[in-house]
Every structure is written in C-alpha cells, then in structure tokens.
Amino acid sequence: MTMRIGVVTFPGSLDDGDAARAARIAGAEAVRLWHGDPDLHGVDAVVLPGGFSYGDYLRCGAIARFAPVMESIIDAARGGLPVLGICNGFQVLCEAHLLPGALTRNQHLHFRNRDQWLKVESTGTAWTNGFTPGQEILIPVKNGEGCFVADTKTLDALEAEGRVIARYIKGNPNGSQRDIAGITNEAGNVVGIMPHPEHAVEALTGPSLDGLGFFTSVLRSLAKDGQLAGGQK
C-alpha cells in the first residue's frame, strides 16, 4: 500500500511543489492540501513547506498558524500524525506551539542562500530514523528569518531530551543558538528544520541526495507502525 504524504499550500508558499516531488521520489503519493480546506483527505503524514505564507505579515508563520487546515493538522499531530515543517513550515510549527522556541531575523541581517553542512543529532524521530547519529549531510539553506532562539531552560531541555535533530556545522548561516538547525517534539512525530531537504533529492538539481532521507524515514516509520498495528489486530 502506497503511503500518502500531504503537502500544504498557503498563499505565498514557494516550495510546495518541490516537497511534493520529493515525496514522490521517496515512493509516496503526494497529496496537495489547501490552506482554506480543513480536510486532510486521509493522508499518513504532512509537510508544511518553505516560502512566505501570507507574505510573512505580522510574523513569519503567524497568520498561517490560524489557517483552517492548520486546525486539523494541530489536532492530528497531537494524535501522532507525522508532520515536517521546512523553513517557513518550521516557523508555522513554532507559532502553532507544536514546537518550542521561535525563528527570528538572521543575526547578520542578510538573507542567506547556500549549500549547508549539518550534523544529524537525533535519529529517533519519524523523519530522521534513516540517518545515523553524527552523520554529516549537505542540503541547501535559504532564509532571512532562520535564527532559532529560545530561553535557556528550553534550550537545556531540548539538549537533555535529545530533541535537537540537526546542527549547523562548518559555519552557522543565521546565528541560531547552539547551532540548532532542527528540533522535534517530545513524541518525535513533529519535526521542524530550517534548511531544505526537498532541494537535495536529485543529483541534477541538488548538492547531494541527503535530503531524501527525511522522506524515506517517514515512510519507514509509517510502515513499521502499520506492521505493529497489524500485529495487534
């Protein structure tokens, strides 16, 4: 049975098509979800893509967080649905309080667009289980408000609980505290990452194929959960 990954389109989304293509390359059926429609159409996982939802007015992700589709996603995520927020999607997840902290203006006040090295820290999530701890991967980063910040107590908790999923190495592109590039929730089903794995899934257009691991990881996680559920019936 083919797993179905939903990809949300908000007004101002930029990378929804790329995320859908990455899902298909990984072996899933990509299902397009519309910001104004709360129906998730029975998808097995959801990607909130990069871009500039609602023009980034007020704050990045602040309006998108209240879109009808997000109300359904928030409820489903709390029930265990795997959700990946990429760049602007990460900002939306923080605004929705599915992830802690916030993404603020890059410390150097410039938009940064480059291929970025990351070190995978946590492989216990639905979206990173296909990597190995300490694995170095190369995927593009492109953001103007990508600086992850949180209070010291929150940062210490993320570290202690193994919820930092990736860190910037060989240079921090935006000044994120403790070089954090991505984090997960306590359950491991919700992941936010500032760099763009969907842009590193094909040799023709990406700096590597390293980004594909996020999408194949969730398929493996879903298949495993399906087997467990099947064994319990």
- Report phi then psi at 178, rounded to 5: 55, 25
Active site residue 29: no
How many angstroms separate the Cα of 97 from the Cα of each of 14, 92, 94, 233?
23, 9, 5, 34
Active site residue 108: no
Q: Which of 60, 87, 94, 147 is catalytic?
A: 87
Beta-bridge partners for 84: 47, 191
Q: Which of 95, 121, 145, 198 is catalytic?
A: 198
- In whole angstroms, give the CA distance from residue 130 to residue 46: 18
- In whole angstroms, give the CA distance from residue 9 to residue 222: 23
Q: Which of 35, 94, 121, 196 is catalytic?
A: 196
Active site residue 198: yes
Yes or no: say if 194 and 147 are a contact pair by the CB < 8 Å rule: no
Residues annotated as catalytic (active site), given as ranges? 87, 196, 198
